[in-house]
Structure 1
Amino acid sequence: MATQPALFGAATHARRWVDDYRGHARAGGDVLCAADDAPWLAMFEELAALVGDDLGHARERVQRHAADIGTGFRIIGEPEERPWPLSPVPLLIDGDEWRHIERGIVQRADLFETILADLYGEAKLVARGLVPAALVAGSPFFLRQLVGLTPAGGHHLHFVAVDLGRGPTGEWRVLADHLRSPTGAGYALENRLAVSRTLGGLQARLNVARHAPFFAAFRDGLAAACARTDPRIGLLTPGRYNPSYPEQAHLARYLGLLLVEGADLAALEDKVYVRTIGGLKRIDALWRRLDPRFLDPLAFDTHSKIGVPGLIDAYAAGNVLLANAPGVGVLESPAWNAFLPQLCTRLTGAGLSLPNIATWWCGHPSERVRVEEDLANLVIGPAFGSGTLGLPDDQAISGSDLTDAQRIALLTDLERRPQDYVGQEIVRLSTMPVVGDEALVARPFTLRVFAARGPDGRWAVLPGGFCRIGEHPDPRAAVMGEGNWSADVVIYGRDKVDPVSLLPAPDSHHVRRNPGTLPSRVADNLYWLGRYLERGEALLAIIRVMLGNSIDADGGAALGPDTVSRLVGMVAAAGAAPLPAALKRADLTQMARTAMESVDAGWQSVAEMNHQARRIGNVSRDRLSADMVRLLDAPFPTHRGMLDRTGSLQRRYAAIAGLSAEHMSRTAAWRFHDLGRRIERSLAIVRASRTFGLPGASLDDLSTLLDLANSQISYRQRYLTGLARVPVLDLVMLDPGNPRALAFQVERIWEHLCALPVLQDDGMAEEQQAEATELKALVAITRADTVNADMLGTVERRLFTLSDAIARRYFLQGAEPLRAGGLTLA
């Protein structure tokens, strides 16, 4: 009984929100106003039960869930990602209405497949005059090199996206098609995850259709189209600067695909391999998000540095599946909308179930005249997506928005090259509720729907999609553009929906402990992530000691000038800051500030180390936890005092180290990350020991060495008679039980290299293993009283040699011979 007042309150809030919204929304052109109240009230009751009457809190809550998932995006030209803008109010679509959309999407995907098979085959459509030759040959996305080639798997299309707009009277029409590398499915998935965490009870109340079966069908469809029964599938990304890279990383993790870049792949004897720490491993299919013109510099753009030489030869031989096939982008041209209705009737015997927006291709003289006469009432755009001189910024624009000068320029170029232009009707969109300033407001929206080819070759349609919401109330699609907000899309119905997930069933007998293939580039990144983090932490420790933040509570007076001078020398030797004019407090503080915070000045500061670690974290999203990425992305501390800032950074480093030690599975990926840490920490210990631990070292020097090795407490617990050089060196350098000692690091390095894969089966140690064994033996036989500059120099050189050997063996980037001895092909 205690829950009744809360439920009654949620229902009251929901009813008031809906009534208030209906009072000011366009009754004939809004999805809520045109729908039955029941599903919308159920959704708003779930929202009100969570946040009461505070809609602003609902928006903040769903944004926080999106951030926890790691959703983000990048605007082209911006170096940093932006948080994902997600509305807490999903778009609700009845299941009966959705089935009509679903049939239209499947019809359209099949029609595209038929047209593509003809264009790259017998070209009968052009020969019979059903399609103008200029519509094909004039497209920059028609790849003549692929004419006559049957794609691996037998299909050109495996994944398509279609943008839909809902008109004021409820009809759905196609606004655009996306075939080359459709984006947004990952964002649709992330939107569903974030909204499900916010509106957890909505699934049961509305019988919401789930996303997992669609993604499972797509993954299984790719596998079924491959030649091998147990294929290896990758998602080919352009890299971290691509605007949708976070989405790609999320999809790769969710689907269990390898996230690879062009540099990860190699073509050899008409097969494609991924460079891994275990050698070259055969890859059977690539879900590409890379522009086809950059796929292979030998086949297309010779200037491409992100493609794979020889990839198209392997594709032509049928040894690698590319989804989607290169060249499918020819059908993305808006000009095709003028011909699809007739083509659909001729090829399928039926009209388009989902009509296009009315389009006139100016390559036909009569249609060009029609466009010129009705210019003010049409949207004028490039026929092939770009390449026009008569449009402002080469973008589609409403004819009524053209200035006199722009109108003259357009008409002039239209006369010169009419085939480059299309005219399209101005589409007015339906609106949906969005949380505004503490109230629901109506905003126009578009819906991107996705279809994927399943294992039976048939199309599966994602029940829902990616909803984009306009910032302004103007309902014209041309004005809305890309939209500023997104929303989950909920397909609801009367029938109960069975819980489905891509996670294995609880009683599944198929157990797998092998985490899968680790590409060499990923191993390289994780290795250097560990090194940059450890390097930043070591430099931070020097700065803290230099500023007098020793943990030695009994230290009394400040450090002596000789010790401070040595600390200053270490900072300068690290390239973190210039030498100060003097050892006065102000000079030291300025040096510390530069070594801490300098950016874009060439200094290897703590901030620069953090930036490098953050950069690597951004390209390793599919391998790192959301908590780890969040810590790497955290802004640099801005506390008022220098020591407060160093303390904040130290705690952050400790948190990252804790996540690495306690939350990363003991896979090869973790081993490379830990290898980087151990090698960098070993170098720091050796340099600190050479600076503060040689004969003649003062008490300040020895105390500083313990501080830098984080071993003050261990020393005081073990020795009660004060500081002495030999015991300090033994603890810092040679004690295998001290987790901060050199001996401990060397032991871990050796263990990691023994556990990592080898290329040969002769039982002999590889170069990196032999180097680690020799280093381990050297440290093991050394006594503290014999540690000197020569010994420390030898260890440092061996650490550099070992790091180079690890890079040569595991980080298979660049132009190394693909037929190198022992380079396993599997």
Structure 2
Amino acid sequence: MNVNHDSQHSFYDEMYDGDRTLREHYSSFGAFIDTISAKKLNQLQFSADKAQMAMGMTFNVYHDKEGLEKILHLDIIPRIIPGNDWQKINEGLKQRITALNLFLQDIYNEQKILKDKVVPADLILGSKDFLKPCMGMTPPKGIWCHITGTDLVRNNDGEFYILEDNLRCPSGVSYMLESREIIKRAFPNLFNKLGVRPVSDYPTKLLDMLQFLSDKPRPVIGVLTPGVYNSAYFEHSYLAQQMGAELVSGMDLLVQDKKVYMQTTQGLEQIDVLYRRIDDTFLDPLAFNPNSMLGIPGLFEAYKAGNIALANAPGTGVADDKAVYAYVPKIIKYYLDQDPILNNVPTYLCREEKDRKHVLENIADLVVKETNAAGGYGMMIGPKVDASEHQKFRQLIKDNPNNYIAQPTLSLSTVPSLVDHKTIEGRHVDLRPYVLYGNEVEVIPGALTRVALKKGSLVVNSSQGGGSKDTWVLY
């Protein structure tokens, strides 16, 4: 089957170099795809769709009026990343997570980085994600960000750049794991020939990390979910089942004597570690949002007393604010005395007068983002919208400059994808590797690749119509 290759482009093609020569890590795939028919690929894609439905790999888009559960479209063509590229990603993410953890410990305690004016104090202390009840706290084992999903993009220079940090409740890892099982069955010979690094041990590594947070020899682990109507409920139940952990909601838990208990048919059982999948301020209505119906009254007091570990720790959200993101290179330099291994995307802070002036004058060429929005919302891609949208965002920035950043429009690399059941064409992608921080910082050698399914589109978010790919990291 032929692969359509657009040689007139300004983006990085991960399969072909500029003169339409297969890149070395795609050579075996290229030879394989020449031997397979479109009909066979369509059969494999159909089987993959059916497998996703059978596994329950669905999500709900909250703004979708139909309210239907949908599969996150899994493109049958895997994305392939060579070992040397992965080595840099691995080292860069370890460095970044180490520095961000030190940053969180500092800003909730001595605040040296604020006193030294490396990061503006008002940016941190005025953030809605800076949780004052966490002041003076050190979480178990000194770890704040236990599970991280960092988004990267590959620009037209071929280099990977950090797009954003996700330190609160990063989602998508179950899709990485289940997609691997589906695609491995579709292309078993190719998978074995290429020597793809495994990701199937992630639940074991996650469990080991959570157990590490407790001093008990056999701690009881719980996965705290908002419930079956949450868009990521499949992932919550899947990870609990894979770890052999308890899947609990706020209604299942209560606090007595600053200890957290799960209600079972045999009576109360103490929970030692909670992998929480609900936002900070919903964790405990007594400490944070009094209107929360999802949290457990008294949970934060139990946490402060050291009777339960929470992953990720409350308060981590302030470190993945999109405005704080712009300071991460300085944060790495401040705590580690190192230059970043992986660079940020150049970022304009609308809170700064010089940057704001540049953004307002060049808004048609920039991507503007709300600092606290996610999922592709609160974002404007300048070259893709009309003048009325530009004017709307100019006014939003003027009204609340602290709430916006802007970045150049990145080209985003492309990888081969099955289009309309008949051709293989390049589609734009990003990359979300997962990082666990327990006894050490470990980057899982795979990732969730999100793909923009529409030709030319740069929006990869599932809630905005994007899909996913299995990511094959080679040795």
Q: Distance in 2 between matches of 1:421 and 1:21?
A: 38
2:110 is the alignment partner of 1:122? yes
Name the TM-score, length of structure 2 as normaliser.
Answer: 0.92
Q: Which residue is 2:16 aligned to?
A: 33
Helix, strand or coil: the match of 2:406?
A: strand
Q: In structure 1, give the amino acid aligned to 2:190.
A: L
Count of matched residue pairs: 468
User: Partners in 1 of 2:459 and 2:59 — Cα distance?
Assistant: 22
User: Residue in 1 aligned with 2:450?
Assistant: 468
More helix by share: 1
Deviation of residue 341 (structure 1)?
1.6
Is this contact kept in 2: 1:179–1:324, CA < 8 A? yes
Q: Does 1:382 align with 2:366?
A: no
Assess if the C-alpha contact under 8 Å between 1:337 and 1:358 holds in 2.
no
* Residue 218 of structure 1: aligned partner: 206
- Structure 1 pair 51/309, CA: closer, same or farther in 2 (3 Å)? farther
- Residue 107 of structure 1 pairs with residue 91 of structure 2: no
Q: CA deviation at 1:293?
A: 0.8
Q: What is the rounded CA distance, in whole Å, between the counterparts of 2:460 and 2:363 in structure 1?
A: 14
8 Å CA contact 1:47–1:198 kept in 2: the answer is no
The aligned residue for residue 446 of structure 1 is: 430
Give the AA of the match of 1:443.
R
Q: CA RMSD in A?
A: 2.5
- Equivalent residue number for residue 207 of structure 1: 195
33, 48, 54: which one aligns with 1:68: 54
Q: Any idea what the Cα deviations from partners look like across 1:106-157, whole Å, max 9, x if unmatched?
A: 1111111011001111111112211112211332211111111111232111
CA shift, 1:238, in A, is 0.6
Distance 1:76 1:397 in 2: 20
Q: 1:369-768, aligned counterparts within 5 Å?
A: 369-385=357-373, 395-400=378-383, 403-437=386-420, 438-454=422-438, 457-474=439-456, 476=458, 482-493=464-475
Residues 138-177 of structure 1: pairs in structure 2 closer than 5 A = 138-177=126-165
Distance 1:25 1:261 in 2: 52
Counterpart of 1:96?
A: 84
* Counterpart residue type for residue 29 of structure 1: Y
Instruction: State the Cα deviation string for residues 525-571 of structure 1 (Å, max 9, x = none).
Output: xxxxxxxxxxxxxxxxxxxxxxxxxxxxxxxxxxxxxxxxxxxxxxx
User: 1:148-191 deviations in whole A, cap 9, x for unaligned?
Assistant: 11112321111001111111231101111111100011110011
1:771-813 deviation digits (Å, cap 9, x = unpaired)? xxxxxxxxxxxxxxxxxxxxxxxxxxxxxxxxxxxxxxxxxxx
Q: Which runs of 5+ in 1 are unaligned?
A: 1-15, 387-392, 494-826
Change (3 A) 1:478 1:435: closer
**CA apart distance, 1:419:** 1.6
Offset of 1:478 from its aligned partner?
8.7
Distance 1:27 1:419 in 2: 32
C-alpha distance in 2, partners of 1:490/1:187? 14
Q: Give the structure 2 partner of residue 194 of structure 1.
A: 182
For 1:480 and 1:240, how far apart are their aligned partners in 2?
Answer: 19
The TM-score, its normalising length taken from structure 1, stands at 0.54
Shift of 1:257: 1.5
SS at match of 1:88: strand
Match of 2:319 in 1: 331
Q: Secondary structure at the match of 1:489?
A: strand
What is the CA distance between 1:414 and its match in structure 2? 3.0
Deviation string 1:486-529 (CA, Å, 9 cap, x unpaired) is: 11000113xxxxxxxxxxxxxxxxxxxxxxxxxxxxxxxxxxxx
Listed one character per residue, the Cα deviations across residues 301-344 of structure 1 (whole Å, up to 9, x for unaligned) are 11111110010001001111100001101112111232112222
Residues 413 and 93 (structure 1 numbering): CA distance in 2 closer, same or farther, change over 3 Å?
Answer: closer
**Is the 8 Å Cα contact of residues 217 and 460 (structure 1) preserved in structure 2?**
no
Residue 28 of structure 2 is aligned to residue 42 of structure 1: yes
Match of 1:21 in 2: 4
Give the drift of 1:47. 6.7
Give the AA of the match of 1:431: T
Determine if contact 1:468/1:482 at 8 Å carries over to the other structure: no
Kept in 1, the 8 Å contact 2:57–2:71? The answer is yes
Q: In structure 2, how many angstroms separate the alpha carbons of the residues matched to 1:181 and 1:423?
A: 24
Q: Does residue 180 of the first structure (1) align with residue 163 of the second (2)?
A: no
Q: Residue 238 and residue 252 in structure 1: after superposition, are their counterparts in 2 closer, same or farther (change >3 A)?
A: same
Note the C-alpha offset of 1:460.
1.1
**Alpha-carbon distance change, 50 to 371 in structure 1, aligned in 2, over 3 angstroms:** closer
8 Å Cα contact 1:218/1:453 also seen in 2: no
1:65: Cα distance to partner?
2.5
Q: 1:28, 1:395 → 2: CA distance?
A: 25
Q: 1:482 and 1:349, CA in 2 relative to 1: closer, same or farther beyond 3 A? A: farther
Matched, 1:134 2:116: no
Counterpart Cα distance in 2 of 1:43 and 1:264 = 49
What is the deviation of 1:24?
A: 5.9
Q: CA deviation at 1:233?
A: 0.3
SS at structure 1 position matched to 2:242: helix
Do structure 1's residue 275 and structure 2's residue 263 form an aligned pair? yes
1:673 counterpart residue number: none
Aligned AA (1:40): Y
Retained in 2: the 8 A contact 1:470–1:481?
no
Give the Cα–Cα distance (whole angstroms) in 1 for the partners of residues 36 and 400 of structure 2: 58
**Structure 1 CA distance for aligned equivalents of residues 397 and 113 of structure 2:** 26
Work out whether 1:363 is the aligned partner of 2:347. Answer: no
Deviation of the 1:278 alpha carbon: 0.8
Q: Whole-Å Cα distance in 1 between the matches of residues 437 and 395 of structure 2?
A: 45
Letter in 2 for 1:473: K
Contact 2:72 2:462 in 1 (8 A): no
Could you tell me whether the CA contact under 8 Å between 1:236 and 1:260 is conserved in 2? yes
Partner of 1:253: 241
Higher relative contact order (CA 8 A, sep 6+): 2
Work out whether 1:56 is the aligned partner of 2:56: no
Q: Using the alignment, how far apart are the partners of 2:328 and 2:239 within structure 1?
A: 32
How has the CA–CA distance of structure 1 residues 465 and 215 changed in structure 2, closer, same or farther, with 3 Å as cutoff?
Answer: same
Identify if the C-alpha distance between structure 1 residues 249 and 104 changes in structure 2 by more than 3 Å, giving closer, same or farther. Answer: same
- Asked if structure 2 preserves the Cα contact closer than 8 Å seen for 1:214 and 1:452, the reply is no
Partner of 1:821: none
Conserved? CA contact 1:69–1:194, under 8 Å: no
State the percentage of identical aligned residues.
31
Q: Which residue of 2 aligns with 1:353?
A: 341
SS across alignment from 1:183: coil
Over 3 Å counting, the alpha-carbon distance change for 1:479 and 1:301 in structure 2 is closer
Structure 2: which 5+ residue stretches go unaligned? none
- Kindly indicate which of the two structures has a greater share of residues assigned to strand: 2
| Shift in CA distance, 398/67, structure 1 to aligned 2, threshold 3 Å | closer
Q: What's 1:689 paired with?
A: none
